[in-house]
Structure 1
Amino acid sequence: MKYSLLILCLAFLVSCSGSDDEKDYRAENEEEIAAYVLANNLAAEKTASGLYYVIEEEGTGATITSSSNVTVTYKGYYTNGTILDDSKENLVSFNLQGVIPGWTEGLTHFKEGGKGMLLIPAHLGYGSKDSNGIPGGSVLIFEIEVYTPEMIAAKNEADILAYLETNNLTATRSDSGLYYTIEEEGTGAQPTGTSNVTVAYKGYFLSGSVFDESGSAGVSFGLDEVIKGWKEGITYFKEGGKGKLFVPAALAYGSYNYSKIPGGSVLIFDINLISVK
């Protein structure tokens, strides 16, 4: 996932609606949504707030509440079909207290693993004033799929395999789902999961965007203090060894955003194991 895309997605989703006394678009939006539903033969439900939603798959995972953390893919557009934002195949994670009211309410009608559509009138979106490129009074439509941890793991696996194929790499998969390549095995001591090590590394996403990098002298730490993918992965090298770790989210920072790491991200690390203590 491109981190820059995540920033754009979250900037778009964060609620800008507040007091808005310029124009009430409720009746106009209701007419527009009803016409769209009829024209597209949608089995839509309307809530008391004026939100419409379509459930294609309810989902079988955890129940979503208005304060849940969620991981989704989505496409947003106007009733004329013009796309306003699209996560494409990228996972986007956020808390439902940090987004427009139409999302906060709408996703509670799904469970994790669910898929469907939200048709959001302006008073549950961005109101009557232009905001972030969204014209005031706009009805917003979102096609949404909510991911379970299992779906994230499956997507991570598929994305790693696609990356390996594209880059003509052969990697070994461990039982945990970690992939690794050994470019130089090394000839020194081999660490255990509790060893203290010094490692020079570069960390980046599947897109190639670098999120962290040490100097050539490396950094020192105990393997019982780092993410699971490192705790396991570094033990496949010997001192002096070099290679790559392909770490799925379950062995890194999980399904939700962590510092610079978007939720659900596969992380790649170029590894140089300098020393084992």
Structure 2
Amino acid sequence: MKYAIFALSFLLLFACTSDETPITDYSAENDQQIIEYIAKHNLNASKSSSGLYYVIDEVGTGDKITATSDISVKFKGSLIDGTVFENTEGEIVSFNLQGLIQGWVEGLQLFNHGGKGTLLIPAHLGFGNSTKENIPAGSVLIFEIEIIDYKVLNDEQIEAYINEHEITNVLRSESGLYYQIEELGTGEYPSGTADVTVVYKGYFMDGEVFDESSPNGVFFNLSQVIPGWTEGIQYFKQGGKGKLFVPSHLGYGIYDYNGIPGGSVLIFEVELVDFID
């Protein structure tokens, strides 16, 4: 999460400036700079009514991005002369669009999750007359972005894990939860609000265990746990055993949580010892 905060600092609206700094309108100058850059690099760019230029390489197949969306991205930011001021270098960083520079808030809404492209942001949609660390006032900002769709990525990761470990009889629900029923159990199925006792072990795809119950299990209500558990435990009857492969949107989401990295697939070996509806 430390790197995510570092990267985010380059996108926040706040910038260092002085009350005595004269207000300069860079719009015409920036527009000409962007037009020349587009021609030089042979980009198929469009321009919005605000003055933002953008290139959509892939719009993305995931959910539509809004001004308040949580997003996960890889990006490189550079000035018009090619100077790189930030590069996630393949790492995924996650944050909410609120409070970021206007060029990002507007530009990211042109994509869905899973999209890829370039934003060419004039100063009035970036840091304006302010100096932002090593970004001079009035600068055009160019961002090459790849927006991660964890639903797709996690799905691919789970499928690869299942194939690599030759796990059979795995089912996928409409929500994206994968589960394997080793023993169904007997009696009735619990509801989503049942009090249950479950013996479990949770681990990442690399095998690292992040949580494990005692042999007697843990007692809790199914409505108070992550969605992957609320749904998954309902596929078992009393005494049932199996595995849950929980994508991040049914787990802890895109942000780090108590030692669980954002976007993680979680694997649980579970046994439904008992339940009360």
With normalisation by structure 2, the TM-score equals 0.67
Checking the alignment, whether the CA contact within 8 Å between 2:236 and 2:272 is kept in structure 1 is: no
Percent identity among equivalent residues? 42
| 1:73 alignment counterpart | 73
Q: 1:157 to 1:89 in 2, by over 3 A?
A: farther
Aligned residue identity for 1:135: I
| 1:45 alignment counterpart | 46
Tell me the SS of whatever aligns to 1:97: coil
Partners of 2:76 and 2:157 in 1: CA distance: 23
| 1:85 alignment counterpart | 87
Tell me the SS of whatever aligns to 2:38: helix
Q: Of the candidates 263, 266, 269, which is equivalent to residue 268 of structure 1?
A: 266
Partners of 1:209 and 1:101 in 2: CA distance: 40
Aligned-CA RMSD value: 4.4
Deviation at 1:102, TM superposition (A): 1.4
Higher-helix-fraction structure: 1
| 1:116 alignment counterpart | 117
Aligned residue identity for 2:87: D
Partners of 1:81 and 1:122 in 2: CA distance: 16
Tell me the SS of whatever aligns to 2:98: helix
Q: 1:174 to 1:42 in 2, by over 3 A?
A: closer
Deviation at 1:236, TM superposition (A): 4.9
Q: 1:197 to 1:73 in 2, by over 3 A?
A: same
Checking the alignment, whether the CA contact within 8 Å between 1:73 and 1:144 is kept in structure 2 is: yes
Tell me the SS of whatever aligns to 2:35: helix
Q: Of the candidates 167, 171, 191, which is equivalent to residue 173 of structure 1?
A: 171
Partners of 1:76 and 1:125 in 2: CA distance: 15
Where structure 2 has 5 or more consecutive residues not aligned to the other structure, the ranges are none
Checking the alignment, whether the CA contact within 8 Å between 1:57 and 1:114 is kept in structure 2 is: yes
Q: 1:28 to 1:178 in 2, by over 3 A?
A: same
Q: 1:112 to 1:163 in 2, by over 3 A?
A: closer
Q: 1:82 to 1:205 in 2, by over 3 A?
A: farther
Report 1 or 2 for greater relative contact order, CA contacts < 8 Å, sequence distance ≥ 6. Answer: 1
Aligned residue identity for 2:76: G
Aligned residue identity for 2:144: E
Alignment of 1:1-277 (within 5 A): 6-17=4-15, 22=21, 26=26, 29-30=30-31, 32-47=33-48, 49-57=50-58, 67-69=67-69, 71-78=71-78, 79=80, 80=82, 82=84, 84-86=86-88, 88=90, 90=92, 92=94, 94=96, 96-110=97-111, 115-126=116-127, 128-131=130-133, 134-137=134-137, 138-145=139-146, 152-165=150-163, 168=165, 170=167, 172-176=170-174, 177-181=176-180, 185=183, 192-194=190-192, 195-199=194-198, 201=200, 203=202, 213=211, 216=214, 218-236=217-235, 244-252=243-251, 265-273=263-271, 275-277=273-275
Where structure 1 has 5 or more consecutive residues not aligned to the other structure, the ranges are none
Aligned residues between the structures: 263
Partners of 2:9 and 2:208 in 1: CA distance: 20
